[in-house]
Amino acid sequence: MPNDALDSDLAQIRSSYVRDRYAFVPGEKMVRIVQALGATDEDLDRLVTVSDALESDPTLPFRKTRTGRFGFDPVAMEVRRLEFQPFMLSTEDDFVRHDAGKVRVFDEIRDDLQLNTALKALFVFKFLVFDGMTIEHRPKLDYDSDRWVCTLLNVRTTTDGDLIGEPALEGVHSDGVDHTMTTYLGSQNMTEDSAVTFLHEMDESNGTRWHDTDPKLVRARAQHRDFLDTCLIVDHELKHSVSTLYAADPERPATRDLLAFLTRKPVAEGHHSREFDSAAPHPAMPMTVPLRALGGTTRVG
């Protein structure tokens, strides 16, 4: 993709995101964008199967998950891998579930994902879209800081004869961050009406099941169906929910693989994750990516 075409695509997506507070980017366009940002064909192919190596989730039996923490540094213009920390979402984050407020310990994302050039390009893409936006501030986050913290989740949800897979068991929720981005990697045996994402106004009640929500409070809906379909949400201005994963052939498991990039400012004093917010680099799995598009572009719009 020529640089002017890349700049045009990024500017259009950013404009939509700023105006609507969400944006959905079809996978075909995302493939072109990440290739222009350095993703190789080989690494795009590897991204399709990276979820095969996931481990069990600490609290959800129908899910396998790995996580990693990454730090956006706009001054140095780079994103780097941060050291492992436990993970917690609470009711203060608009997250209502049986494990809300519990400290969760996930297996870590490994080099097979973090060194993938397509993943690196997705980090650059996200930064170029949200950098410099004015957003509603969350309580107890440090908006005086230049830095951003991104928790990356690689998730496989499964429905089989024993388990019903819920991509968002918590119902209507927010992710406790400033900018959420979800990127679809693929699925097996998933029905066409599975895993629809609904975007809700903030007046919708937390924890409401997707099928019980007020239609008047639904801002938009989207569905991740094609490789690299990507949705961005200003997380403290719109809530979201996701419908159930159903198996097309009930005799075989259905799976759905996703990357979720949960990005926020560092926490401030009094935040429930204050002790889990180290900015130290990862001692065993270092990774650094320049936050620059081809041709030296660092800002869009």
The verdict on residue 301 lying in a domain is no
- Residue 238 falls inside a structural domain: yes
Whether residue 296 is contained in a domain is answered as no
Q: Considering the domain boundaries, does residue 210 fall inside one? A: yes
Residues 6+ apart with CB under 8 A from 150: 69, 70, 71, 72, 79, 123, 126, 261, 262, 263
* Helices 117-130 and 27-36, packing angle to 10 deg: 100
**pLDDT score recorded for residue 294:** 45
- The count of domains in the chain is 1
Residue predicted with more confidence, 162 or 295:
162
Which residues contact residue 19 at a Cβ distance below 8 angstroms, ignoring those fewer than 6 apart?
Answer: none
Q: What percent of the chain has pLDDT over 70?
A: 96
Q: What pLDDT is recorded for position 1?
A: 67
Amino acid at 90: S
Query: How would you class 265 by CB atoms within 10 Å of its CB: exposed for 0-12, middle for 13-18, buried for 19 or more?
Result: buried
For residue 4, name the pLDDT band (cuts at 50, 70, 90). confident
**pLDDT greater than 60 at residue 151:** yes
* Residue 267 maps to a domain: yes
Dihedral sign, Cα of residue 75, residue 81, residue 83, residue 86: positive
- The CATH number given to whatever domain includes residue 121 is 2.60.120.620
pLDDT tens, residue by residue, 106-117: 999 999 999 999
The per-residue pLDDT for range 8-65, each reduced to its tens digit, is 999 999 999 999 999 999 999 999 999 999 999 999 999 999 999 999 999 999 999 9
User: Which helix (H) or strand (E) covers residue 78, if one does?
Assistant: strand 78-82
Give the closest residue to 277 by CA, choosing from 260, 292, 262: 262
The answer to whether position 297 is within a domain reads no
Instruction: List Cβ neighbours of 301 (8 Å cut-off, separation of 6 or more).
Output: 11, 14, 15, 18, 132
Q: What is the pLDDT of residues 134-147, one digit of tens each?
A: 999 999 999 999 99
pLDDT at 299 over 60: no
Range of the domain at 257: 3-291
CA distance 275 to 176: 16
Residue pLDDT, tens place only, 197-207: 999 999 999 99
Q: What is the 3-state secondary structure (H, E, C) of 231-256?
A: EEEECCCCEEEECCECECCCCCCEEE
Q: Give the torsion sign (CA, 273, 279, 285, 291).
A: positive
Res. 5 pLDDT band, cuts 50 70 90 = confident
In a domain, 163, yes or no: yes
Judge whether 61 lies within some domain: yes
Each residue of 210-262: pLDDT tens digit? 999 999 999 999 999 999 999 999 999 999 999 999 999 999 999 999 999 99
User: Does residue 295 carry a pLDDT above 70?
Assistant: no
The two structure tokens encoding residue 255: 């799976």
Cα angle 175-177-180, degrees, rounded to a multiple of 5: 70
Please give the model's pTM, rounded to 2 decimal places.
Answer: 0.95
